[in-house]
Amino acid sequence: MSVIFEIFLREANAEGFSSSGGVDAEAFFKSKLYRKSIEHYSRAVKDDRIAAMEYLARGEAPRRDIEKVMPGTKALLCAALPYGHWPHAMPSPNEGPRYSRYVQGGDYHREVTLKLENIMRKITAEHNELKYRICVDTAPVLEKIVAAACGIGWIGKNTLLMNERSGSFMFLGVVLIDATIGADVEVMDDSACDGCSRCVDACPTRALCAPMKLDARRCISYQTLENKSGPDLSIGRANYGNWVAGCDVCQDACPVNEPLRRPPHRSLRWSMNWNEHIEETEAQFRSRVQGTPLECMSHERFLKNIVIMGGSD
């Protein structure tokens, strides 16, 4: 193990990441895990299961060739920040508008990036020749697969990375560096998924059309957060339940997440009924979602979700 890798693991722990690891690029791109995953990815693009997320189609070439993301990449470091224990990670009550746990927290892109910057600052203080690039949903990298190759977790049938410690409630960050670290692919035991299909069975829209196969066009998360034209009702209005921003159904059904389940909760920022949402002004909405993953969403689009899912009460 290289000194750089040792510092990374030590500092990741100090920054509050629950798991971290790394893998040399050559070992990663030759691995069965990567080759299987990239074929899976291509198939999703060809079958149009990526919905209108064209950036995923454009990102296929760099996901196959890391030189296009950062020339000279020799290793991939990865760290996972758990959020299951945070107050916002408690499920929202079944009645009223429901939000996915992760959207109710802070902007994880910023938080994970800042933590990784702190770590890399310490590393480059001693190794100032090191070139690196931090990727937190900001570069075409298969983050979940990198994390799986680093032994941080396994990919469940719900397509999410998970481990026994944090369940599937983790934010991931990857750092590309131009030095080898002496680490091979390390795959975690995924037998917890053996004989289980609770996530697939629980998905209300059959977006999980088979184990580890997600059709984004049918996914409530995609429809409520990413679809610019608003939720597609051809997949059945009733199937949406009252999810207005994201969906946690497949995560809530997962036994690996069970120890992390808590009583329903809604933080003040999100404790609003349907009418309050409808009456909220644009300025109030902007101030409420500032610094959360919903910051990029327009008020108009959010209101459309509210009107479709709940109307007034």
Using CB under 6 A, list all residues that contact ligand SF4. 156-158, 192-193, 196-199, 203, 205, 207-208, 214, 219-221, 247, 249-250, 253-256
114/192 with CB nearer ligand SF4:
192
Instruction: Give the nearest distance from C-beta 153 to ligand SF4 in angstroms.
Output: 11
Nearest Cα to Cα of residue 174 among 115, 121, 217: 115
Interatomic CA distance for residues 108 and 116, integer angstroms: 12
Backbone angle region of 241, left / alpha / beta, with phi > 0 → left and psi within -120 to 50 → alpha: left
Residue nearest to ligand SF4 (CB): 156
Q: How far is the CB of 250 from ligand SF4 (least distance, A)?
A: 3
> Is residue 280 a contact partner of residue 97, using CB atoms and an 8 Å limit?
no
Crossing angle of the two packed helices 108-126 and 3-14, in degrees rounded to 10: 140
Residue the block writes with tokens 């189609």: 57
Type of residue numbered 9: L
Shortest separation between residue 300's beta carbon and ligand SF4, angstroms: 23
Which is closer to ligand SF4, CB of 22 or CB of 153? 153
Annotation says 137 is catalytic: yes
Q: In terms of CB distance, is 219 or 244 closer to ligand SF4?
A: 219
Annotated catalytic residue, options 107, 137, 178, 252: 137
Nearer to ligand SF4, 117 or 232 (CB): 232
Q: Are 156 and 62 in contact (CB under 8 A)?
A: no
Beta carbon nearer to ligand SF4, 42 or 197: 197
Rg (CA), the chain: 20
Q: Where are the alpha helices (DSSP H) in 150-224?
A: 198-202, 220-221
Residue 156 Cβ vs ligand SF4, minimum distance, rounded to whole Å: 3
Minimum gap (Å) between residue 223 Cβ and ligand SF4: 8
Return phi, psi of residue 153, to 5°. Answer: -175, -170
Which residues are tagged catalytic?
137
